[in-house]
Structure 1
């Protein structure tokens, strides 16, 4: 049965070749066709006998090699799937770690923000306190200037009044009296 399909192919090939020859106007020589078919069958038999074992061995080896490669590919696929699952687990853990770091960063940013606001409020209070002190100092300085100016004006006014009340003799007498008090003391 195995050889029947090969034989049928050979017969069909030779028949097509003979029919092509016959279509040129020649008559079909059946005896020649039979001898050719026998020749092809003998040639195929020799090929099968000489190379059949080699072909069988080659095909068996090739089949074994393909099976090994398939098993190797299956093992590699399983390993790749395992590595993929490990990589996906690592990716999920990295994503979780990133989310955790992001939340920690937010908390730290809020803490820093609160600290900055607190420091700014303290500095604002200090600045206000310093401004109050500076204003008080300026007020005190201005009051002192006004007092000094008023004192000068009062002294000048009193001097004018005293000078206007005292005449030249009264003034000389007052100076002598003041000098005698200073000398005797």
Structure 2
């Protein structure tokens, strides 16, 4: 196994493990910090996929922006509301969670089936790109192509993501504001 393969598996295990901890943890502050680890592991996976600009954007936007907003929302929210959330008696493996587990299992089976049926090693457009030597090398500069594509072909999804980030900012500000006593 090469070093790149080992690094990929290490980053994937860190990302999956920390994401599972985020989903299963009862402590909200620990979940936020493990989300921090998850986002950095995803940035490492982007670097291994030769998407260095996307990795830097991941760190700047999500770790530097969204995660800090979530931390501020927790710090500025009242102690009573956080204590009420942490005192809830919801267990991970309970009868009331059975439909969610069944749905997740079904989704996972369908996803694995799609990946197996797709045959990603035998896709015609990948074979054509390899035959024409139209592949990204580690020394290639992809930022110019990314900038042109973001402002032409992918302008609508780019603007949709900016609206999503604005909604996250407004949501964090709403969570951080104090409620007036009646």
Q: Larger Cα Rg: Structure 1 or Structure 2?
A: 1
Q: Does the TM-score normalized on the shorter chain lie above 0.5? A: no
- Whichever structure has more helix as a proportion of its residues is 1
TM (norm. structure 2) is 0.27
